[in-house]
């Protein structure tokens, strides 16, 4: 698997560390919240090109009996004409080595147009940011985006004691006004059971400069 030192993604990873508190925490503590969407302050917008307005949600989920934890962060509000970001992230409890993610499939709300995807990792103890190779495809019927790893998958980094983080950054432009829509994510990886639906979801409300559409 080929990687290179991150340049542009540094601010994205910093925003994630602020939003979900993962940079220096063990996986068990970092993902100790419920999988339901929760509101928060505008920390999820830090370092991004205006991806959201006044809130974010950040559910997390241990995936079945696997040893991979899924975090999922997205904007609670998004303005038409702006670019927004969604952030699935992955960690390994107790620094368990050898766990990998092979693909991530993401569903955006109606009115969102896919712009691009980046995959990055952050490894302890120095928390070095590295960009990883990936391929993104869009389903012509559903509009769902699948980001696929090279052969062998994206390994979740560890130092043998602590889990690092694997991040997928999906960018969309809001092109049409709808009141609100559900975003969802699912993935495949080491010992991950087949999903019958989205593993984590959140709601993004679309707004204009004059307030929410329909208000």
Parse the chain into domains and list their residue ranges: 56-206
pLDDT at 141: 94
Is pLDDT of 6 > 50? Answer: no
What would you measure as the largest C-alpha separation in the chain, in angstroms? 52
DSSP string, 92-150: -GGG-TT-EEEEEEEEPPTTEEEEEEEEEEEETTTTEEEEE--EEEE-TTT--EEEE--
Q: What CATH code would you report for 56-206?
A: 2.60.40.740
Q: What percent of the chain has a predicted confidence (pLDDT) above 70?
A: 67
Torsions phi, psi of 65, nearest 5? -100, 10
How far is the C-alpha of 63 from the C-alpha of 66, rounded, in Å? 6
pLDDT at 205: 86
The average confidence (pLDDT) of the chain is 75
Contact 52, 112 (CB under 8 A): no
Per residue in 138-153, pLDDT tens?
A: 999 999 999 999 999 9
Per residue in 112-171, pLDDT tens?
A: 999 999 999 999 988 989 999 999 999 999 999 999 999 999 999 998 889 999 999 999
Contact 57, 37 (CB under 8 A): yes
**Range with the largest mean pLDDT of 44-58, 127-141, 167-181, 194-208:** 127-141
Q: Which residue has the tokens 């339901």?
A: 36
Using the Cα atoms of residue 106, residue 111, residue 113 and residue 118 in order, give the sign of their dihedral: negative
Q: Which helix (H) or strand (E) holds 190?
A: none
């Amino acid at each position: 698997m080929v990687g290179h030192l991150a340049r542009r993604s540094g601010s994205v990873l910093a925003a994630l560390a602020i939003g979900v508190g993962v940079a220096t925490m063990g996986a068990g503590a970092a993902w100790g919240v419920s999988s339901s969407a929760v509101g928060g302050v505008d920390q999820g917008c830090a370092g991004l090109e205006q991806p959201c307005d006044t809130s974010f949600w950040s559910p997390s989920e241990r995936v079945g009996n696997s040893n991979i934890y899924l975090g999922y962060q997205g904007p609670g509000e998004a303005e038409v004409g702006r670019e927004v970001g969604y952030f699935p992230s992955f960690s390994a409890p107790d620094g368990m080595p050898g766990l990998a993610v092979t693909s991530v499939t993401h569903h955006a709300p109606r009115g969102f147009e896919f712009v691009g995807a980046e995959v990055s990792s952050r490894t302890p103890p120095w928390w070095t940011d590295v960009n990883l190779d990936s391929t993104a495809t869009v389903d012509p019927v559903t509009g769902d985006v699948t980001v696929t790893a090279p052969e062998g998958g994206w390994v979740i980094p560890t130092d043998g004691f602590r889990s690092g983080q694997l991040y997928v950054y999906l960018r969309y432009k809001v092109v049409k006004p709808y009141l609100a829509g559900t975003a969802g994510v699912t993935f495949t990886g080491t010992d991950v059971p087949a999903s019958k639906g989205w593993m984590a979801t959140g709601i993004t409300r679309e707004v204009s400069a004059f307030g929410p559409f329909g208000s």
